[in-house]
Amino acid sequence: MSTATTSDAVIKPDFAAQRKHFIFNEHHDQLRESIGRFVEKELAPHAEEWEETTFPDSVFKRMGELGFLGLSMPEEYGGQGGDYFCNLVLAEEITKSNSGGLAMGIAVHTDMATPPVKLFGSEEQKQRYLVPAIRGEKISCLGITEPDAGSDVAGIRTRAVRDGDEYVINGSKTYITNGHRADFIVLVTKTDPDAGYDGFTLFLVDTDTPGFIREKKLVKLGMHASDTALLAFNDMRVSANAVLGEVGKGFYHIMWELQGERLIGAAGCVAGAQRCFDRTLQYAMERKAFGRSIGHFQVIRHKFAEMATKIESARQMVYTTAWRFNNGEYPVREISMAKLHASRIAVEVADECIQIHGGAGYMKEYGVERVWRDMRLNRIGAGTDEIMLDVIGRSYGL
């Protein structure tokens, strides 16, 4: 009979071990390190200033030079040819900028406006828009929402009417991220109001086209480093070559786009929540009350336990769904679940982190209140909680 040594018999939990997820390999680790280094060195130091001014366009140029704007784009268009997980790495690491607005402005470009150009664009459109977008020389935005139609995408009124070799576009879009700085817009229009879901068409439009009007810069609760625009289109004439994808199939094209947008938003929520958790954990170790660190009160300890469990559950949903997405599946139900859950827990975590900070949590100086304000958008943008619940419920035939 063998006698177990002390080290064999006393198996201890590995709380300090790095928990690497199976979707990431060494290449992703290296990418994570290089993006993280860049974000901490070149972006984070400006976070406060950019809350006042919005972040400068030069961030796109710099990220283009570093190859960060086309991580999963084909190499023939200047991309890095990586997998979808590279986009997750970017979404996670950019939270180190401490600027939700910056992260959103970049994500709109990399994961919302340019993927439809890659998937549906003609060769000419890819050369004209995708290549400079990946280089950071052209900035993009995405126009779905209108003053009278947000959740109800099918209710949009922006009309594109064919006139010879051109289309004439009239209408407006609101809450458009990057709308002021963008060089081009992926624009959702109605081309046939009587054709139901088959009456929508996407266009790729240069923002210097006559009739493209930047009406207003909108003032927001959070995400201050991003610019948000109200746009109008007044007899804006574009060539028929500006159609992106198929005429009449724009609704399906944009529903596809929204899945990537929701998943990357969910990844950002998890990473942002984790960051807020980490900073608050440090605070709870240092802050003393009644003769001990506040983190050692059972009430506070349990708050951390609840937050960690929420973050971990959302992370697993995001990673597993991303794995399915990367494998070519179209897991709309799971993406909706991940988006719903990650957005909710991020706001809950940010709220609890403010509570644990006490008065300091309410002060701008500590940055926690900003996380709450920035995160709050995620329960609304890219499809509200209620719409996610509806998509999930309907997926069961209800």
Ligand X SMILES: Cc1cc2nc3c(=O)[nH]c(=O)nc-3n(C[C@H](O)[C@H](O)[C@H](O)COP(=O)(O)OP(=O)(O)OC[C@H]3O[C@@H](n4cnc5c(N)ncnc54)[C@H](O)[C@@H]3O)c2cc1C
Sites of contact with ligand X (CB under 6 A): 108, 141-145, 150-151, 175-177, 220, 223, 228, 377, 380-384, 386-387, 390
Catalytic residue selected from 51, 146, 261, 369: 261
Of the pair 214, 220, the CB lying nearest ligand X is at 220
Question: Least distance from C-beta 316 to ligand X, angstroms?
Answer: 26
Residue 235: its H or E element = strand 228-239
Question: Least distance from C-beta 255 to ligand X, angstroms?
Answer: 13
Of the pair 97, 228, the CB lying nearest ligand X is at 228
Q: At which residue do the structure tokens 């006139």 appear?
A: 163
Sequence-ordered list of residues with C-beta below 8 angstroms from that of 304, at least 6 positions apart, any chain: 277, 280, 281, 284, 295
Question: Least distance from C-beta 204 to ligand X, angstroms?
Answer: 15
Q: Which residue is nearest to ligand X (CB)?
A: 150
Question: CA separation (Å) from 141 to 10, 66, 161, 313?
Answer: 57, 21, 22, 31
Question: Least distance from C-beta 194 to ligand X, angstroms?
Answer: 23
Of the pair 146, 334, the CB lying nearest ligand X is at 146
The dihedral region occupied by 152, where left means phi > 0, alpha psi between -120 and 50, and beta the remainder, is beta
Residue 146: its H or E element = none
Comparing C-alpha atoms, which of 284, 250, 309, 297 is closest to residue 366? 284
Measured distance CA(370)–CA(2) in Å, rounded: 59
Told to judge if 123 belongs to the known catalytic residues of this protein, a careful annotator would answer: no
Query: What is the separation of C-alpha 123 from the centre of its chain, rounded to a whole number of angstroms?
Result: 27
So which residues are the catalytic ones?
261
